[in-house]
Amino acid sequence: MICAQSMVPHSSNPTTAKFFSLGLTNMTPPSFLMKTKPYPRKADKEAMSRVKEVTLTSTPPKVSCGVTHTSPAIVFSAGGYFENSFHQFMDGFLPLYITINFLLPDDHQNDVILVITDYKDWWSRKYAELLAHFSRHPIVNMDNETVTHCFPSVNVGLITHGYSNVDPKLLPRPKTLLDFKFFLDNAYSQGDTDTTMYQFRQPTTRPRLLLMNRKAKVGRMILNLDEVKKTAEVVGFDVIKLEPTVDTSLLELFRLIQASHAMLGVHGAALTHFLFLRPGSVLMQVVPIGMQGNADMCFGDPASILGFQYLDYKIRYEESSLAERYVRNDLALTNPEAFIGGLWKNMLVYLNQNLKLDMVKFKIFLKDAYKKAKRFMDEEIG
C-alpha cells in the first residue's frame, strides 16, 4: 500500500497511469519515483502478471486539472484473479472494506472515489449494488481516462488481512468479518420491505437447501450430483440446484440465499456466497483430498465467526478420482503438504480431482445437517 497526499492521476495514454504529488513544492524533484501494481497478492506472480503497473512520483507535472474532486480516492486493480468469484471478494471487496475502514471515519466511508484499473464492464454491472454501497460517487475507469483528475488525497492499493479475515486489532475502530457481512447484507437488502422478504421466506415444513453445482471440464465436480440431490430430498430437504455464473444477478442470489436454511458444495469459488447466509444457517463443505487446510481457512473457520452451523465432509480415497492415478500409500495421498512442496503444478493435482460420493456415508452426513437446518427453521417460524 502506498499512501500519499495531493496526487494527480494523469492518463494521456490509457495504457499507463502516473500519480503526481502536487503539495510538496519545497522538494527538489524527483524526491521519489516508484512503480507498483495495486493488487493485494504481491507474492503471486501469476496474479500480478495480469495487473497493470502505475507510477508514483512527487515530481509536479506541468498540467492542469481536467477534473477536480473534493473527495479522496482509492486506486485498485480489477485484474489478477477477478474472473473468479472467490477472488472478487477476497482480493477485492474485503480488502476494499478494510482499506476504507482504516482510512476514513464511519460517517464518511462512502465519500470516497473508486479509481479502478484493469476495469471490466461485466464486473461493474454484476456488482453494481455493492459498488454503489462502497461509494456514492461514479467510478473512475483509469483505463479509459485521457484527462487529469485531481484529488485531495489518494491511496494506491488495498490492505488485506488474509483470506476471509478482518483483524480488529489492525483497524482504528475494531471491525470483524461479521461487520463485513452486515455491510453486504445492507448493500443487497436496500429497498426490500418486510413484504418482499416474506415472499422469499414463506413458511415451509422442509428446510431449503442450496446445492451449489460446479461445472468444469475437470476439477472438483461431484460426478453423482443428481444422486446427491435425490438423497437430500429423501432426507427431508427442499433442494435447489444452483450454479452461479457471470450473468447471475447478485440481488436475486442474495434473496434466494437469505430465504434458505442450508448450503452445500465442494470447496471452490461458488461457496463464497456463504457470506449471504443468515446466522444459524447450515454450511456444508465437501473437502477433497489434500484441501483440508484451504477448506478450513477459506470457509470453515470464517463460518464460526459468522454464526453458521458448519459441517465438512472429508473425501476418502475411494471417492476421489485420485484413486485412478495413485496407490493408497502414495505420498500424494498420505502427505499432501509434502507432495505439494510449494509447487503450483502439484497443487493442481488436488484442484483437478473429481468426486463420486459414497451415498451410504453421505446420507448419514445429510441427516445430521437436516436436523440442524430443521431446528433453525423451526426456531425461525417460532
Q: Report the Cα 303 to chain-centroid distance in Å.
A: 14
Q: Which residues pair with 265 in a beta bridge?
A: 285
Amino acid 190: pLDDT: 75
Q: What is the mean pLDDT of residues 177-183?
A: 96
One domain, residues 171 and 213: no
- Least reliable range by pLDDT among 149-163, 165-179, 257-271: 149-163
In this structure, what C-alpha cell is assigned to residue 128?
A: 453494481
Contact present, 70 and 111 (Cβ < 8 Å):
no
CATH code of the domain containing 237: 3.40.50
One domain, residues 38 and 169: yes
R_g (Cα) of the chain, nearest Å: 23
Q: Which residues pair with 355 in a beta bridge?
A: 222, 320
One domain, residues 217 and 331: yes
State the chain's mean pLDDT as an integer.
88
Reduced to 3 states (helix: H, G, I; strand: E, B; else coil), residue 8 is: strand
One domain, residues 219 and 277: yes
One domain, residues 209 and 340: yes
Strand 18-21, strand 54-57: pairing = parallel
What secondary structure does DSSP assign to 75-142, as a single string? Answer: EEES-TTTTSHHHHIIIIIHHHHHHHHHHS-GGGTT--EEEEES--HHHHHHTHHHHHHH-SSPPEET
One domain, residues 211 and 181: no
One domain, residues 208 and 163: no
Percent of the chain exceeding pLDDT 90 equals 71
- In terms of Cα–Cα distance, which of 100, 173, 86, 190 is closest to 137? 100
Range of the domain at 115: 2-189
- In terms of Cα–Cα distance, which of 194, 146, 153 is closest to 70? 153
Reduced to 3 states (helix: H, G, I; strand: E, B; else coil), residue 10 is: strand
Amino acid 22: pLDDT: 64
Amino acid 146: pLDDT: 81
Q: What is the mean pLDDT of residues 278-294?
A: 97
Strand intervals (E) in the chain: 2-5, 7-10, 18-21, 33-36, 54-57, 67-68, 73-77, 113-117, 140-141, 149-150, 153-156, 208-212, 238-242, 262-266, 282-287, 309-314
Q: Which residues, including other chains, have CB under 8 Å from residue 272's CB and lie 6 or more apart? A: 85, 86, 88, 89, 90
171 pLDDT above the threshold of 80: yes
The C-alpha cell 441427516 sits at 367
Domain boundary among 189, 206, 234: 189
With 0.85 as the threshold, say if the pTM is over it.
Answer: yes
Q: Please tell me which residue, 357 or 56, carries the higher pLDDT value.
A: 357
Helices then strands (H, E): number in the chain?
Answer: 15, 16
Q: Please tell me which residue, 83 or 287, carries the higher pLDDT value.
A: 287
One domain, residues 69 and 210: no
- Give per-residue burial for 240-255: e unless 16+ CB within 10 Å, then b: eebebeeeeebbebbb
Reduced to 3 states (helix: H, G, I; strand: E, B; else coil), residue 334 is: helix
Amino acid 14: pLDDT: 47
One domain, residues 184 and 199: no
Amino acid 33: pLDDT: 79
Q: Count up the domains in the chain and report the number.
A: 2
One domain, residues 250 and 164: no
Domain boundary among 189, 212, 234: 189
Domain boundary among 139, 164, 189: 189
Question: What confidence tens digit (pLDDT) does each residue in 183-207 have?
Answer: 999 999 976 655 444 455 566 789 9
278 pLDDT above the threshold of 50: yes
Q: Give the per-residue SS3 of 208-222.
A: EEEEECCCCCCCCCE
313 pLDDT above the threshold of 50: yes
One domain, residues 173 and 230: no
Local confidence band at 328 (pLDDT 50, 70, 90 cut-offs): very high
Percent of the chain exceeding pLDDT 70 equals 87
- In terms of Cα–Cα distance, which of 183, 213, 7, 35 is closest to 98? 183
Q: What is the mean pLDDT of residues 24-42?
A: 74
Degrees, nearest 5: CA angle 212-273-353: 45
* Alpha-carbon gap, residue 362 to 86, rounded angstroms: 26
- Least reliable range by pLDDT among 20-34, 121-135, 218-232: 20-34
Local confidence band at 20 (pLDDT 50, 70, 90 cut-offs): confident
Amino acid 26: pLDDT: 52
One domain, residues 143 and 202: no
